[in-house]
A and B are shown apart, each in its own frame.
Chain A
Amino acid sequence: VTTAGADTRRRTGLIALLAVIGPGIITASAGNDAGGISTYSVAGADFGYEMLWLIPIMTLALVVVQEMAVRMGAVTGKGFAALIRERFGIRPSFFAMLALVISNAATSVSEFAGIASAMEILGVSRYLAVPIAALAVWMLVVRGSYRRVEKILLGLSAVFIAYVISALLVGPDWAEVARATVLPTFEITSGFVVLSIAMVGTTIAPWMQFFVQSNVVDKGLTVRDLSLQRVDVISGTIAAGLIAWCIVLTTGTVLHGSGAGIATAADAAGALAPVAGRYATQLFAIGLLGASLLAACVLPLTASYAVCEAFGFERGIDRSWAEAPVFNGIYTFVIVFGAAFILIPGLNLISIMVFSQVIGGILLPFLLVFMMVIVNDRRIMGRHVNRRANNVIAWGTIVAVTALTLALVGMTVLGVS
């Protein structure tokens, strides 16, 4: 009798976990999108192992930030945008939404850059691939069928697990890697600072916090589910962090020594050569395509939902243009902007992907400050306000990113390169 009882209990525990799990893992995986892959690759290729130490720290920061978003969603049952509006009023939420839409439009550009790169590896011109991809994404979004496609795309982007194998196969100097992961090293060059901001911007992307929180709200999760949600957030974030670490590690080993750098996506694919041999570029292209398409579907919707939630406009993918003009207008704008930008002739897609993450990184502190004020407000969060450790890490992130941005501005003004 006791064994049977224990068995049922364990099973319900597992089922309960499966029911709650999802938002964190999906968000973290979608975070390793085109911009993420290229930023990590460039970091490894340009600076070798020098940036490895950033990854554990950023992973910790992402866990903290995502946990706050999940907690806010579970306690209040409201989205992040709604909370910003209710706590701060119209004007601040206008700027918060402006920041979100700008960073989403920029990231969307990088997703279409990822699609264009992947298709060019497969031999298709970007002027053909990007418009078709934009139309496909737009139709997936309006028909609401992207949730069905989501799993396929997630599966495709799981190709990047190949980096983990690749990292084991390239045979790096593990002692050196361990040292680089633990001991911080700096370079006072604008290249290093820009890439650091891009790394933060892509790891802790602004839209991810809105996305994970609205997922929690839509699933109707409550405070009782909090401990399971933490498991979800932590496991998803650590998995994403591990992949990021492996990308920097492999590109750092394979590409850094050669002095070639990364000019096109095909160069970045070289890091997968230890696993896939001469099929490395194709493998890379397929993974890049899946990850980019997934994020290209999620980004415009996140922006639309957040803006409409904050200002009380009619929203939902089952609403027509006449019913919800703002909602439909914003996601169409984000898709069209992202696709149209890539069609400007002569763009270097890799730099576009990295640069768009810099925009995300610069805008991140603004949104995090809103989050910190809300999550420490006892009237909103009750006894679920932040612990001190959370506050220290989150404020630390805000201060660090702001300092990096100021440093970048300073360097640009002073002409340090």
Chain B
Amino acid sequence: MLGKPVLDATGETIGTIHDVAIATREVFPRVTSLAFVGPDKTPFMLSWRKYVASIDDDQVTLTVARPELRFSYLQPDEVLLSRDLLSKQIVDTQGMKVVRVNDLKLSESKNQLRLLGAEVGARGILRGLSPLLERAASAAATLVGRELSENLIAWNYMDLLDRDLSHVQLSVTHKRLHELHPADVADVLEQLSPAQRAAVFEHLDNTQAALTVAELEDELQADVIDDLGSQRASDILEMMDPDDAADIIGDLPYDKAEALLRLMGVQEASTVRSLLGYREKTAGGIMTPEVTTVTEEMTVEQVIEHIRSEATESETIYYIYVVDEERRLDGVISLRDLVVAQPGTLVSDIAERDVFTVNPDDDQEDVAETMSKYDLLAVPVVDETNKLLGIVTVDDALDVMEEESAEDLALATGSIREQGPIASLWWWFVRRSAWLLVWALAFLAVAMLRAQLDPIVAGTANARLGVGLVFMTLATALLPLLLKTAEEVSSRAVAELIEGSDTETRPSLGRRLLRESGIGIAMGLVGGFLAFIWVETLYGGAIAQAVQFAAVTSVSILATVLVGATLGEIALRRSAAGKRVSGSSLGITAMVVGALLYLTLAFWIGTLVGVAGVS
């Protein structure tokens, strides 16, 4: 539509359409103004309602002649479609995505234009390039039985990133980015650049900002806080749950962290500081110190009064913990117990004495498992004197479980990506073919070595070196045997890792090596036999050499199995110590070590034997 001629009432062309403005207050906004450029390239604004007589495919006709036109200005609640919307990035507040507007769809009825929505799909791009192209693609799609669908976003589900809409009055149903649920805002923020993120944060009040930051991915949290001004950042951190705030502050550079802690309220800062003392991935690292506590001699009525006055501070009130004057844990009351009890009942009469507790150094995964096993909404963290330090709430436990299952998945599939069906197929393929890559690289290395050494060997007639090289080449050919064995051993170790077998039931390193060496000897014998046949029949070498080569092969395979088992053991220990372990790097290390061992051993034995006979 842009670029169409504008004709006045006398039929004279006075310019071309430059832009149109819409009224922002409606769900399907009307076009309210027309901007056109005259011959001298200056843009003018006209009221659509007053001056536009008719619109069709070729032109816009006005109601009056050129001299009678009165120009207007862009109103604060008007948005220019071409300037502010077309080609710009917008937030789709329904699909929680950041998209680019490729085209705008307008509908016409009785000379009244309305904005139906923004086209953000490939179809809009094709139309923008050429309507012919769109028709061709649409026809092609129909031919293969598919439809080239439109991807429209209605005005009330858009939020503009580049133009600040905060001063513009919008229709009641209009959804703005900062009015979404904090988890959704966080989803969108993750798709934006740092500058755009900062702009969105300007519109969030501190409470919303605190909730949003808590929902962001861990890696982004510290970045976002780091980019905010110190005062604002400390205000936001104060509003967050202390355990979440401590996580973020722990990830910040030291200077910045100290500056923020100093700006925070004394009480909040000291809570966060005390939490910073605990190690990550333990009960202490994920607990919150804000707990509702009562003493034994209080009545149910007093307890409820106490909760009312304190509840806003606490993360959960479903459990109320009973402590003595030294804050040692004596029991627990559930909200349910309180509600059904008579107001005058003493706490000591209804408190459950047998409380499940965890220690601050306990692994977070164990804590989450305890909570899931006993269906707890929160579990208290106590020190060795049974003093109550804080609680781990169910939301933190869910995060832990998600994190740990993602880690297990990463271990099993060798990647930490989110995967669609095609991607996981690819990854399966890549992982399964790791041995192929190692094999190809080994061939490459041996080829390079021979390219360098063969002329020297030929020159000096050094038979020993020659046999070594031949042995090594033969070994390269048989390498897959060893590589598949290494893969097998390491995938067994990974399986054990995922099962997370307990330390008690796990065999010791010695027993494991013994068990694996049985498999190793069997595999080695088979490999040796194959190697023997291979050298004898194909190369017609002396029996002695065939036997030696077979021995090298057997020993290498056995050694690879043992190396794989030892690596698996190391991985298990690291995993037990709470460190991240990568399943595919375990396998690849075993393969590379085994391959190097096999090739060097073959070369070395070859030079040692040194009788030319095979070539």
Contacts and interface: CB of A to CB of B under 8 A. Distances in A.
Given A135-B437, A222-B195, A321 B451 contact: no
A217 B125 contact: no
Contact of A311 (B125, B227, B426): B125
Interface stretch (B267-275, B412-420, B472-480): B412-420
Interface string A320-362: 1111000000000000000000000000000000000000000
Given A90-B102, A220-B194, A312-B89, A318 B444 contact: no
A124 B448 contact: yes
A336 to B, nearest CB: 15
A312 B99 contact: yes
Contacts of A312: 89, 99-102, 120
A170 B417 CA distance: 52
A318 to B, nearest CB: 6
B422 interface: yes
B173 interface: no
B265 interface: no
A90 B440 contact: no
Given A143-B415, A220-B227, A123 B125 contact: no
Interface stretch (A20-28, A64-72, A78-86, A226-234): A78-86
A150 B452 CA distance: 29
Interface of A: 76-78, 82, 85-86, 89-91, 93-94, 122-125, 128-129, 132, 135, 139, 143, 217-220, 222, 310-312, 318, 320-323
A311 B438 CA distance: 39
A124 B440 CA distance: 12
Greatest chain A CB density within 10 A among B223, B441, B443, B447 is at B447
A225 B418 CA distance: 35
Contact of A318 (B223, B418, B426, B448): B418
Contacts of B440: 128, 132
Contacts, number: 90
A322 B420 CA distance: 6
A399 to B, nearest CB: 25
B87 A86 contact: yes
Contacts of B128: 89-91, 94
21 contacts: A76-B195, A85-B87, A86-B87, A89-B128, A90-B87, A94-B128, A123-B452, A128-B440, A128-B444, A139-B430, A217-B194, A218-B193, A220-B193, A311-B102, A312-B89, A312-B101, A320-B420, A321-B420, A321-B422, A322-B423, A323-B420
A83 to B, nearest CB: 10
Contacts of B194: 77, 217-220
A135 to B, nearest CB: 7
Closest 3 CB pairs of A and B: A77-B195, A312-B100, A123-B451
B418 A78 contact: no
B328 interface: no
Contact of A90 (B129, B196, B415, B430): B129
B444 A89 contact: no
B281 interface: no
Nearest to A89: B87
A132 B444 contact: yes
B421 interface: yes
Contacts of B415: 143
Contacts of A323: 418, 420
B432 to A, nearest CB: 14
Contacts of A311: 100, 102, 125
Given A77-B196, A91-B128, A320 B419 contact: yes
A322 B422 contact: yes
Contacts of B88: 86
B187 to A, nearest CB: 13
A129 B443 CA distance: 11
Contact of B421 (A86, A128, A322): A322
